[in-house]
Amino acid sequence: MKVLGISCGRRMSNTEIMVKEALMGAEEAGAEVQFLRLQDYYIKPCTGCNSCVVDLMEKHGGGACVLKNDDFPVIDELIMDCDALILGSPIYEKSPSGQLKSLQDRMGPSHDVGFRMIAQKIREEKGITTGKGPDPRSFKPRTASLIAVGGSEWDTLALPTMGMFALTHQMTVVDQILINWIGLPKVVTFHEDKLARAHRSGKHVVESYNKGVDNAEYIGEEGLCPMCHCKLIEIRNGHDPYPAVCGVCGVRGTLTTDADGKVFFNVKEEDRVHSHLLLSGKFEHLQELADVSLKPPVGYETVNDRAKKYRDYLTPIKPPARDKGEKAEEGEEL
């Protein structure tokens, strides 16, 4: 079994230390472990061109990205090869690092297991055996642990955003760790309880994988969502308590309070199928895309004429000349 640790923080600072402590726990449980520091890699931002989706769904390929000459293929291979992921990020302005979001955008629909399952099914139905189809490693069961480290309680979007990364790959999140008030470099080494928690998390992703993800136990802090344990619940229609929607898995439920004012997010059995943790929810979302946002309106062939006035309006300010494609410099260790 292979466990990959990804730190989205600075070299040898608190996030990296927590991820490495978790990897030590995974290694203790018998796993082969690997580690990468995302800041060491150069990843071009996604342009939203949808070429990967076209390659996957229409050309029956593997979902190849048109962006070249960066380090994305290296990270892609490592993630595809691993059986479990320990993902750690510092918290910047309530969110994980920008490097993680760039990687996540590049792995959006092209790596979504739902998209890849449909693409593979099309290849099989059409008897396509040539070319490169979806990576078969996408479909294997995997476990994950998420670790977010922040200097205060400005953490609202950290774990939900990291949870979306695991959701795309259909990884079963068996643990989430949120650490606040850790601001100085390496200061987490003074917190033996937090290091022990990370060590336990690493062991748990291995033990959960070995037991089978269907039998996996979640050991992180309980959230409001009974399915993905997210605390971020969105009210969609004014003040109506239903449908409230989980910020990660998208399941619909009702926000209620008891006599003591305690808040609950209640999800009916018939609503559980809409969660994107389940393939039923993923397929439902893909069908919505096909029926609504990707369905051309009448007269779409005139779209370029309609957009012409915006193409010709103003000249964008150009950035200063610089070399492109250079590898990011390593973060300085303090």
C-alpha–C-alpha distance, residues 286 and 114, integer Å: 8
> What confidence tens digit (pLDDT) does each residue in 134-157 have?
999 999 999 999 999 999 999 999
Say which CATH class 2-221 falls into. alpha beta
CA-based nearest residue to 7, from 103, 109, 128, 122:
103
Percentage above 70 pLDDT, the chain: 96
> What confidence tens digit (pLDDT) does each residue in 160-200 have?
999 999 999 999 999 999 999 999 999 999 999 999 999 99
195-201 long-range contacts (CB < 8 A, ≥24 apart) are 195/17, 195/18, 195/21, 198/18, 198/19, 198/21, 198/22, 198/25, 198/147, 199/21, 199/22, 199/24, 199/25, 199/28, 200/25, 201/22, 201/25, 201/86, 201/145, 201/147, 201/175, 201/177
**What are the structure tokens assigned to 296, written together?**
């051309």
> What confidence tens digit (pLDDT) does each residue in 25-77 have?
999 999 999 999 999 999 999 999 999 999 998 898 999 999 999 999 999 99
pLDDT of residue 286: 87
Identify whether the C-beta of residue 32 lies closer than 8 Å to the C-beta of residue 202: no
**Chain CA centroid to CA 241, Å:** 28
**Chain CA centroid to CA 284, Å:** 19
The letter for the amino acid at 18 is M
Going 36 to 38 to 39 to 42, the CA torsion angle's sign is: positive
Dihedral of CA atoms 189, 195, 196, 198 in degrees, nearest 10, equals: -170
Q: Where in the chain is the domain with CATH 3.40.50.360?
A: 2-221
Give the other-Cβ count within 10 Å of 183's Cβ.
Answer: 12
Coil vs helix vs strand at 205: helix
pLDDT of residue 98: 95
Coil vs helix vs strand at 241: coil
pTM greater than 0.75 (yes/no):
yes
Coil vs helix vs strand at 180: coil
pLDDT band at 105 (very low <50, low <70, confident <90, very high): very high
pLDDT of residue 290: 87
